Amino acid sequence: MKNLDIRQIHALCFDVDGTLSDTDDLYVERFLPFFRFFRDPLRAARRFVMWAESPGNFLMSIPDRLGFDDEIWRLYDWLNRRYPRPLRHFRLIPGVHEMLAQLASRYPMAIISARDERSTRAFLDHFGLTPFFQVIVTAITAEHTKPYPDPIFFAAQAMGVQPEHCLMIGDTTVDIRAGRRANAQTVGVLCGFGEQTELERCGAHLIVQQTPDILNVLRP
């Protein structure tokens, strides 16, 4: 694992699920009995709920590999418009709003999400985050979704920076792999799906416990 070169960071790219959003703990507790034999039942239940309530970033490369990601996501968008999912089981990770408000005055910022567009924008609007971002990249914005680098290339161009001057921040190996393939620097966060060992193995430049810790990392 390498250290970040702060001087080379001119723009920030954030994942959503597990990076900006978390699951509601009361909802998670309903699933605890099913995971009572796991080493860490609470973490296992949280990961299950996050997977069930979102597309699941770790699965997002499968349609790309089969060559029908656009068709899958158009169907997913249609299903979400017809049967919208409630946001009540998601919450904003504490400190994220304050972090984004401070960073937005110093960096252009992008959302890089494997979610569908409707639910991504609904989440950002619900928590008042939309004004912080110059560009919102969702599952079918670019030719391929994460772990391909295409979403970061798209966001970098929209923000007027080179991909190597972006910092990709996310909780899964999918985020780290996309960032590394775009030649961007990467930070893994441990408040979502990912485990430290797998994020390190994928080449994360830095790993932090919670997303708001980025403020200290990027402190001028």
Superfamily of domain 1-220: HAD superfamily/HAD-like (3.40.50.1000)
Q: Which residues of 131-151 are buried (b: 16+ CB within 10 A; e: fewer)?
A: ebbebbbbbbbbebbbbbbbb
Helices (H) and strands (E) in the chain, counts: 10, 8
Please check the confidence at residue 86 and state whether its pLDDT lies above 80.
no
Reported as a single tens digit per residue, the pLDDT across 191-210 is 887 889 989 999 999 999 99
Within 79-137, strands assigned E span 90-92, 109-112, 135-137
Backbone torsions φ then ψ of 3, nearest 5 degrees: -85, 155
CA distances, 35 to each of 22, 32, 46 (Å): 19, 5, 10
- The residue ranges of every structural domain in the chain are 1-220
Quick one: what percent of the chain has pLDDT higher than 90? 51
Nearest to 140 by CA among 48, 54, 21, 60: 60
Please check the confidence at residue 187 and state whether its pLDDT lies above 60.
yes
Count other Cβ atoms within 10 Å, centred on residue 3. 9
Backbone torsions φ then ψ of 75, nearest 5 degrees: -65, -45
